[in-house]
Amino acid sequence: MTFEEASRRFNLPAKVFYRLRELGLITGTTLTDADVKTVELVSRVFGDPVLLRTRLARFSKARREDLVRTADLNKWESYIFNRYRNHIMKKSGKRLYVKRIASEINYYYGIEKSFTVIRRIYQLRKRAYKSLRKKESNLAR
């Protein structure tokens, strides 16, 4: 069974399977019978609200909010979002240009500059600004 088929069967995102492979819990790109049992266990744990709440309780409120805020982002998108948030919070007075961010993700993640990548950078920058404005307005109350 491939990761995509398993994703549909167990109702888990495909990136969960890649992460399980990175952790050494499953092997290869197709699932063996032993791998299927591991994935069944993970899917039960992954979907249990009691276990999830218990696990999240160990994190600070700020960390939990950050996890929720960036849950739908992949690695390079999360990098961009956090890059803008951290840059804004420092208030260094310097600008952080989209071209520079595009060069950074090309260097670190091998993602070429394209119209869609540039557009996504603008979207993430806007999202980071909104996030900080919301945080500031909540602190002002």
Q: Decide if pLDDT at 5 tops 90.
A: no
- The answer to whether position 62 is within a domain reads no
What domain range includes position 16?
A: 3-55
Question: Model's pTM, two decimal places?
Answer: 0.68
Mean of the pLDDT values across residues 125-132? 87
pLDDT at 93: 67
Q: How many domains does the chain have?
A: 2
30 close to 2: Cβ distance less than 8 angstroms: yes
Q: The dihedral of CA 5, 17, 70, 88: what is its sign? A: negative
Question: For residue 136, is pLDDT > 80?
Answer: no
pLDDT, tens digit, 9 for 90 and up, residues 56-74: 899 998 888 888 888 889 8
Shared-domain flag, residues 88 and 132:
yes
For residues 83 and 42, membership in a common domain is answered with: no
Measured distance CA(92)–CA(81) in Å, rounded: 17
* Residue 9 reports pLDDT greater than 70: yes
pLDDT at residue 117 greater than cutoff 90: yes
> Is residue 125 situated within a structural domain?
yes
Would residue 14 count as lying in a domain? Answer: yes
* Whether residue 124 sits in one domain with residue 81: yes
* 83 and 49 part of one domain: no
Average pLDDT over the chain, rounded to an integer: 85
Query: Does residue 104 lie in a domain region?
Result: yes
Count CA atoms within 13 Å of residue 26 on its CB side.
Answer: 26
Which of 40, 30, 27, 26 is closest to 3 using CA atoms?
30
Q: What is the pLDDT of residues 33-42, one digit of tens each?
A: 888 888 888 8
Is residue 118 located within the same domain as residue 79?
Answer: yes
23-27, 82-86, 130-134, range with the lowest pLDDT: 130-134
For residue 64, being part of any structural domain is answered with no
85 and 125 fall within a common domain: yes
Q: Look at residue 67 and tell me if it is in a domain.
A: no
